[in-house]
Amino acid sequence: MLFTEMGLSEDILMGIRELGFETPTPIQEKVIPILIENRRDIVGLAQTGTGKTAAFGLPLLQNISLRDNYPQMLVLSPTRELCLQITRDLENFSKFKNGIKIVAVYGGASMDKQISALKQGVHIIVATPGRINDLLRRKKADLSRINSLVLDEADEMLKMGFREEVDAILASTPNEKNTLLFSATMSADIANIAKSYMNDPVEVSIGTKNAGADNVSHIYHMVHAKDRYAALKRVADYNPDVYGIVFCRTRQETKEVAASLMKDGYNAEALHGDLTQAQRDYVMQKFRDRNLSLLVATDVAARGLDVNDLTHVINYNLPDDSENYTHRSGRTGRAGKEGTSVSIIHTKEMGKVREIERAIKKKFLPMPVPGGKEICERQLFSLINRMTCAEVNHEQIDPYMGSVYEMLNDLSKEELVKRFVSLEFNRFLNYYKNAVDLTVEARSSKSSNFERFENDGSRNDGSRSRSPRNGSPRNEGDDSSSRRRRNSNVPMTRIIFNVGKGKEISKKDIIELLTSSAGRRDLDIGQIEIFKRASSVEIDRKLAPKIISEMNRRFYKGIKIDAEENLEFKGNDFRDRDKGPRGKRREGGKKRYEDAY
C-alpha cells in the first residue's frame, strides 16, 4: 500500500512527498485508515522509531479546521525533546496546509512566550504534562473544545510520575473526543487509562506485546565487574563506526564513565539530570550532528530522546526492569535498519538476563569480549574502507602531487601501503598486543576484588588505562595471579595489611594483588598468613617499597588497604583492639587496621 492509496488529502500528501515518504510503516498502515474512516479510539503498541508520529499526525492534521482558531488537538509527550520532535514532524507534514498553527509548550522555556502564542490562536498544542497542567491551573490554556487527544510514550509518562497531571489534563477535555494512546509496553497502568478514559478502543500492536524490535540483535558479554570499563572500550574499538547510547544506572556513574571515555580519546559526553537545560540542548545537538559517537546517559535523562540511525545501545549496567530494557533497545534498529543492543554483565546477572529474555520474547546471544586480534582487524579494514571512499578534490590537491611523488619516490608500492597503514594502525597494535581475555568463561585467573584508585580518587576499573584513540596507549597488561617459586637467594621482607579472613580474602587474591602491584609476574613470594583481620606475606625486599606504595592506593571490597613493612608482626597482635600491630597503644584507643571495620 502507498500513502496515495490511504485517503489522505492532497496538501498532506504534498508534505509527505517532499519528505521523501512513499510507503507507510506497519503501524501507519494500520492506524491511518482507522482514523480517516471511523475516528475510533486507539491503543497503539509499538517501539519508538516505528513511525507513530506520522501514524496519528497525518490523519488528524487532515481533520483540522483552519476556520476555527482554537485548540482542536492536544499531543502529550513525556519530555521536552520528544515534544519538540513531534512539533517539528507535524510542521513538516502540514507544510502545505497553509495557515495551520502548532505550538509546543514545555518546561525549561519561557512561559510568557508560550502564553502569548496561545493567546494569538492555535490549532494544535504539543505539550509536556507538567507545563500544560500548569497553564490549565493558571487558566491560560483552553482544552474544552479539542476533538483529538494523543498520549505518546504513555508508559514513559507514567514512569516519570505524571499520573496525577495526566488525570487532571484528561478531566479538562470534552468527553466526546478521539483519544489515541501510544506505548512501547502494555502495563497495568496503561490498561487502566484505556479503561477509564477511552471509548471501546481498537488495539493496534506491531509485533508481540512488550516485545523487543525484530531488527535489533541482543548480545551480552560476561566479564568480572572490575573489567566492565575495559570491555566497554573494546566494544567501541571493535565497532569503529559506532554511534550509540551507553546506559548507566546512576548520575555519578554516568559522569565517571563519560569522563574516562573522553580522557581516553573517545568522542563521548554525559547526559544526566545535573545538566542545565542549555547544557542538555548543547550535548544533544552535538550528538544529533554526529560530533559525538557515544552518549553516556541514565534512563531518566534519555527518556524521550529521538535520534535516528543509532547503531548500538550499550548497557553498561542492565536496567532494574525489563520495560526499561525494551525502551533502551528500541532506540536502535529504527526505520527498518539493523541495530545491536550490547549488555556488559557480570557473573551474578544471568538471572536478570533470563528475565529480560522472557519479557521481550527474544534470546540474548552470549559473545566473548572482542580480543586484540579481532579489534585490530576491524580497525584495519575500517581504515582501508575510509581511504577508498575518501573524496579527492583534484583542483586543490593536484598542485602538491609533484612534490609528494618526489618525496615518496624511493618507496615501493608495497612499502608505501604498509607505512600508510602503520601510521594509523600501530596504535591499536601496540595497545592490544598483550591484551588479556576479559570473558569470564575463558579467563583462568579468579575475579579480583581489588580496585586501584589514582591520586584524584577515581576508580581504575580500566578507566585509567589510556586508549589507543588518544595516541599514547598503555597496555592492558597480563594480570595473571599464578604463583612463582621462591628463589632462596632473594632477600625477603614481611609486609602486613589490614584485610583478612573477615573479608574472605584468599591466598590467590593476595598473590594477584602483589603481582599486579609490582607490575611483574615473576615475583618471589614467600610465606602467606591470613588472620581474622589482617594478612602477612614475605616478598622481595627490593620491591617492597613499590608494592607497599601501590597497595596503599587500592581498596578491597570497599575497604582502603593499609600496608606496611613489619618483620616483627604476629597474628595475635590483632587480638588487642587498643594496640597496634607492634603491640604499641595507638592514639585515641584505635588502631589503623581496626578503623576499616
Q: Which of 93-97, 265-269, 286-290, 383-387 has the lowest mean pLDDT?
A: 383-387
Instruction: For residue 431, give Cα distances in angstroms to 435, 470, 519.
Output: 8, 11, 17
Q: How many domains does the chain have?
A: 4
Tally the residues of the chain: 597
Higher per-residue pLDDT: 573 or 45: 45
Residue 315 has pLDDT above 70, yes or no: yes
Residue 200 sits in the same domain as residue 221: no
The pLDDT tens digits of the residues spanning 261-290 come to 999 999 999 998 788 878 888 898 899 889
Pair 52, 182 in one domain: yes
Model pLDDT, residue 243: 94
In a domain, 545, yes or no: yes
How many Å apart are CA 130 and CA 107, to the nearest integer? 7
User: Can you tell me whether residue 370 is helix, strand or coil?
Assistant: coil
The pLDDT value given to residue 111:
92
pLDDT band per the 50, 70, 90 thresholds, residue 216: confident
CATH of the domain at 29: 3.40.50.300
Residue 455 within any structural domain of the chain: no
233 has pLDDT over 90: yes
Sheet with 535-540, side-by-side order of all strands: 525-530, 535-540, 492-497, 563-565
Whether residue 225 lies inside any domain: the answer is: yes
Q: Is the pLDDT of residue 449 over 70?
A: no
Give pLDDT, residue 304.
61
Whether 18 and 164 share a structural domain: yes
Instruction: Name the domain boundary from 154, 173, 205.
Output: 205
Sheet containing 244-247: give its strands across. Answer: 268-271, 294-297, 244-247, 312-315, 339-345, 216-222, 365-366
Confidence class for position 470, pLDDT limits 50, 70, 90:
low
Does 595 score more than 60 pLDDT? no
**Could you tell me if 197 and 247 lie in one domain?**
no
Flag whether 464 is in a domain.
no
Task: Indicate whether 445 belongs to any domain.
Answer: no
- pLDDT at 576 (0 to 100): 37
In the chain, pLDDT over 70 holds for what percent of residues?
83
Same domain for 74 and 196? yes
Q: What does pLDDT average to over the chain?
A: 81
**Which whole number is the average pLDDT over 359-376?**
87
**Does 358 reside within a domain?**
yes
Shared-domain flag, residues 364 and 378: no
Coil, helix or strand at residue 330: coil
pLDDT score, position 307: 78
CA distance 36 to 30: 11
Q: Examine the pLDDT at 406 and tell me if it is beyond 80.
A: yes
Q: pTM of this prediction? A: 0.55
Stretch 362-388: mean pLDDT:
85
Which residues in 137-206 belong to E strands, given as ranges? 148-151, 178-183, 202-205
Per-residue model confidence as pLDDT tens digits over 112-152: 999 999 999 999 999 999 999 999 999 999 999 999 999 98
| In a domain? residue 476 | no
Please return the burial class of 332, using the count of CB atoms within 10 Å of its CB with bins 0-12, 13-18 and 19+.
buried
Regarding whether 378 and 313 lie in a shared domain, the answer is no
Show which of 371, 398, 414 is a domain's final residue: 371
Judged against a pLDDT cut of 50, whether residue 167 lies above it is answered with: yes
In terms of domains, do 169 and 292 share one? no
460 assigned to some structural domain: no
d(CA 383, CA 466): 21
d(CA 40, CA 37): 9
The reported pLDDT for the residue numbered 95 is: 92
Range of the domain at 584: 492-595
* One domain, residues 562 and 525: yes
Per-residue CA distances from 426 to 58, 116, 385, 418 (Å): 53, 60, 17, 11
Contact between 208 and 330 (Cβ < 8 Å): no
> pLDDT band at residue 207, thresholds of 50, 70 and 90?
low
Please check whether residues 238 and 321 belong to one and the same domain. yes
The yes-or-no verdict on residue 473 having pLDDT over 80 is no
- 33 with 172, same domain: the answer is yes
Dist. CA 319–CA 360, nearest whole Å: 14
CATH number of residue 576's parent domain: 3.30.70.330
Residue 472 has pLDDT above 70, yes or no: no
- Has residue 583 got a pLDDT over 70? no
Residue 479, pLDDT > 50, answer no
Burial classification of residue 420, based on how many CB atoms lie within 10 Å of its CB (0-12 exposed, 13-18 middle, 19 or more buried): middle
Last residue of a domain, one of 432, 459, 478: 432
**Three cell numbers, residue 496:** 602486613
**Residues 87, 227 within the same domain:** no
